[in-house]
Chains A and B, each alone.
Chain A
Amino acid sequence: MNSSADRIRFDELSAGRVLGDLAHDELRELDKLIAELGENPDPSFELLAAMIEVDAVTESPEEIPSHLMTRLDRLATDLATPVSRQIIHAHVPAWKRLAVHPLTGWAAAAAILISSFVLTRKEPSTAPAVAQLQLRKQAADLLERNFQGIGEFEKAGGTVIWSDQAQQGYMTLTGLPVNDPRKAQYQLWVVDPTRDADAPVDGGVFDIPTDGSPVVIPIAAKLALTKPQAFVITLEQPGGVVKSKQEKVVALAKG
């Protein structure tokens, strides 16, 4: 394809992604074009789609259920004020064993942390492998841990990096078996000592599409994290779970 045809196809696929209609092979094609053309899709497509859809939804509003509003109010409180928790004894479940004593002066630390990341946070705009390198170069507070495979997953390994300030992190994983996303998906959990030790933060669901070569997975934490104490990968049902039963713990990384 010449560059003009590439450009037209690039726009078509960029628009298709925003419309949510890209097939698997088209996603790969778009990825290839991004690399070849050296630029990201025009964000105008996504802005346009959002404007049109917001307009449509606003014209026909659907009332939000009251119990959901109650949940969201609790979420707002949780986001604003991380709660320190008690520890952890040898006989309790793995999440608890991995956690540590609450930080001294956590409230002040959390307040500083939140305000600083609101001011400095930036989202990655490139592929995970590149974004990971950028984070390694730029983050002054980078935390790095090694993954150790557990039980039948003993060949699993890799590293995880995390920056509290950027609220970004990446896993580079090797040796994890390829999963069939229709049957099971990997899920990352992050043990944050400033949060409930019984409920590690969901770090996102991911797949291992190919055997052998290292795969870089961005961490998609559902809540802000403060000095994560441990990272745990489990195998869960497709789409992941809200709370893991830890029936299949794949790998663990801790300090």
Chain B
Amino acid sequence: MNLCIQQYGSLVWGIVRRYVKDVVEAEDLVQEIFTEVWKKAAAYDPKIAAESTYIGLISRRRSIDFLRRQGRQPGFEPLTAAESIPLPDASIPSITCDPEAVKSSVAGLPADTRELFHLFFDSGFTHPEIAEKTGLPLGTVKTRLRRGLITLRDQLRRAGNPNTQAAS
């Protein structure tokens, strides 16, 4: 566990800070995430994703859950525990996680969608912030990001990438 914290501490911290602005809350969340990583270690399958992706996935999921719990996503209501949908850890994704293929597919997205991806994933802006920056309606921002992700999934599914390895 110590090794895991040394190796991925900055990654988890970096992801959490994109979502949780309050430092004290962010620190508590990082601790919760590493506890979950430890508890879910058995669910990790190196054939499906790199360790960093798996830990990043848990970090994103918990950060988004946190925002919903706090009701801090403007326009969104908090998610009740009863409505929380457990994610299908045991399911097999329909794509292979080849980082280069993902980068290439992102680069192939339409320019306007690519710009929204950049603002959301690279710059860490929220949907309302992106709407304000671009002048697009919030609904359009949401729809384009969603459809961009679906397009990526479809492209990678078609490409198959049968011989790729998980990233290190």
Contacts and interface: CB of A to CB of B under 8 A. Distances in A.
Contacts of A121: 39-40, 42-43
A125 B35 contact: no
Given A69-B9, A239-B69, 7 more contacts: A19-B146, A19-B149, A23-B76, A40-B91, A44-B157, A52-B117, A57-B14
6 contacts: A22-B76, A42-B153, A49-B60, A52-B106, A53-B60, A75-B34
Interface string B81-108: 1111111111111110101001100100
A58 B55 CA distance: 13
Contact of B40 (A22, A120, A123, A128): A123
Interface stretch (A28-36, A82-90, A100-108, A149-157): A28-36
Nearest to A114: B38
A64 to B, nearest CB: 4
B95 A44 contact: yes
A222 interface: yes
Interface of B: 1-2, 5, 9-11, 13-15, 17-19, 23, 27-28, 30-32, 34-35, 38-43, 48-49, 52-54, 56-57, 60-61, 64, 67-71, 73, 75-95, 97, 99, 102-103, 106, 117, 120-122, 124, 127, 142-143, 145-147, 149-150, 152-153, 156-157, 167
A242 interface: yes
B39 A224 contact: yes
A122 B42 CA distance: 8
B147 A61 contact: no
Nearest to A25: B77
B82 A76 contact: no
A125 B149 contact: no
Q: How large is the interface on A (under 10, 10 to 19, 20 to 34, 35 or more residues)?
A: 35 or more
Given A51-B56, A125-B88, A21 B145 contact: yes
A75 B31 contact: yes
B37 to A, nearest CB: 10
Given A64-B13, A206-B81, A239-B70, A47 B28 contact: no
Q: Please report whether the interface of chain B is mostly helix, strand, loop or mixed according to DSSP.
A: helix
A15 B146 contact: yes
Contact of B52 (A18, A34, A54, A185): A54
A60 B118 CA distance: 13
B61 A52 contact: no
Interface in A3-46: 11-12, 15-24, 27-28, 30-31, 34, 40-46
A21 B142 contact: yes
Sorted from nearest, which 6 A-B pairs have the closest CB atoms?
A: A206-B81, A50-B57, A54-B56, A57-B14, A24-B77, A207-B80
